[in-house]
Structure 1
Amino acid sequence: MNELEQKLFQLAKDHLSAAYTPYSHFHVAAALATDDGQIFTGINIENSSFGLTNCAERTAIFSWVNAGRPGRIKCLLIIGNTDRPISPCVACRQVMSEFMAPETEVILTDSQGDFDRFTVDQLIPYHFTEKDIQDGANK
């Protein structure tokens, strides 16, 4: 990992303990960097109605959206308290495809620092887009 990715890794790892996981005890954190140098973090936040749970990567992306979407997302790193790099759920992959360019790098890690590197397009190659909505509305 390069220097920025190491910084994202450390920030995300430091946030693992802040995850709100009273039911699963499965901690996940994420950190993203924008091309203008800003960093946003997120943790998973559970709810007793599991469908209302929010994943760490969506929390980080939504924090960036809430801040006015400064810059473009350059990189997203996801870490879990796992023995191998953690993979994002399909809901998170769809949100990534909405707010991140297809070539944006996504780094999947574990708490030991093992990692795999993908692009958004590799994680969700045939994602639902705004064009799909427009095509459906024009019929």
Structure 2
Amino acid sequence: MSPRRARPVTDGCTVTVCRGCCCGTERKHPGVDHTGQVAALVAGVGDAGRVRVTDCLDACERSNVVVVGPSPAGRRAGARPTWLANVLHPETVAEVVDWVRGGGPGVGDPPGLLDLCVFTPSRRARMEAGEI
């Protein structure tokens, strides 16, 4: 049995950015600075949480997909990961950062128009993301 790698411990939210088959591609979303989006999330979230990039989350029709996992405080309040669709504009990325810095799911409400991006993924997508 191979040893498991320890996950970084954080008191904040975990932001998972899909960069699989459609999300983050110039082919599907020409003119969007996909690399800049991830950099803006990493810089903006800072020590308020962590940002990770993952392969396809199987919600390609809603790309670019970002999942905001609640902090421990958010989980204690009953929050579950929040899936966001169409995260394509710098303003949307900034709202994700503001929400995470404000505590994220279970602690604060999504700012601005971010609640319009929220969607419920398929069971298969949630399984692939490790939620169930």
Q: Please identify which structure carries the higher strand content.
A: 1
Considering Cα pairs closer than 8 Å and 6+ residues apart, tell me whether 1 or 2 has the greater RCO: 2
Structures share fold, TM-score greater than 0.5 = no
Q: Which has the larger radius of gyration?
A: 1
**Taking structure 1 as the reference length, what is the TM-score of the superposition?**
0.29
**Taking structure 2 as the reference length, what is the TM-score of the superposition?**
0.30
